[in-house]
Amino acid sequence: MITNKKAYINSFEAVSCAGLDSQQLFASICEKKDCISIDDSYVQDRSVAIGKIDSNLSFNDLLTKTVNKVLTNSNLENYDNTLLIIGSSVGGMNETEKVFFKDSSYENIDYKKHPIDAIAYHLKQDFNFYDDISFSTACTSSANALGYAKEVINKGIYKNVLVVGVDALSYTTVCGFSALSVLSSNPCTPFEKNREGMNVAEAIAVLLIQDEKEDSTSVEICGAGYSSDGHHMTQPHPEGLGAAKAMQNAIDDAKINKEKISYINAHGTGTMANDSSELNAISLVFDTSKPYVSSTKSFTGHTLGAAGAIEAVIACMSLQKQIIPPSKDIKDVEREDISFTNEPLKQEVSYVLSNSFAFGGNNTSILLGLSNDN
């Protein structure tokens, strides 16, 4: 079996509250636009800040349109040899809720549209993929999908893999995080000392990964690192030991010197426990080098299972445009030994590390870089 193939992201697209395509997304981040809205319809007797997509299309129509755009822009004539990998936290939960709230009954719910593989089921109505697999590991879902895509391409099992990170807003998720007392009533401020919490959001991010690079803008998935610290059902390890292990594993997998990493797209949700743990982890791993750190969730919100994929899109654009994206105006940082940036920085960007951490100490880091291959 071939074991030396490289995995290249040759095409991508994203839809979120920060923009209806990837160019709008990156522009919103660099221009530091207000993308999070305040909503009082999800949680009883309370307003919360959420990231809601502004579109006249239904979520499923947006999903189909975004996938079609990536595939149409690719070099594929058909998708018979393409593996579809879904990363989602809640699958078709929003569709189930629509039926239940309309009918006050479960009787008319289509069971094929409810589970995690409901997204693959929907897409297979329009696209003839060779096969599909769905990952649901909470907030690392699409990051794990990207890692798996890298693995099957590295081993020569597939030549083409389409990763789709997707989660729609649902009452179940918003109210669930409210019950955990981690939602903010204001746009989130990751890494601020006095941060209030996270913003649940929805997004669609699609990346086509292939074993041959398309052109000089192709981005290589250089490394993928995982860990499972099992510290607590919902809380990360306070010292960030699991997160640090995932980052170091990604660096080791890529076989690069960590000094070459220019930027870390942090998980940075805006909760007290997560941000503190992640900063401890970054400090442990990057004890001698100081890459820039920001959390783009201050623009997109926390898109749950889609987070790894949409932040991979942001990392790709950071590499292609040679711009380090900012956080949204951190005024009083928790730690002074971390290199935060409140402004987009135009500079050389060699490698980007993208972090995704989930419940149960389920940690994934993806290391991306511009390919130097001819």
Burial class (CB in 10 A: 0-12, 13-18, 19+), 374: exposed
Of the residues 114, 122, 237, 302, only one is catalytic, namely 302
User: Quick one: which of 187, 91, 177, 93 has its CA closest to 142?
Assistant: 91
Residues in the chain: 374
Q: Which of 188, 237, 267, 316 is catalytic?
A: 267
**139, 188, 222, 316: the active-site residue:** 139
Active site residue 35: no
- Catalytic residue check, 30: no
Going from the C-alpha of 98 to that of each of 94, 172, 239, the distances in angstroms are 6, 12, 41
231 is catalytic: no
Catalytic amino acids?
139, 267, 302
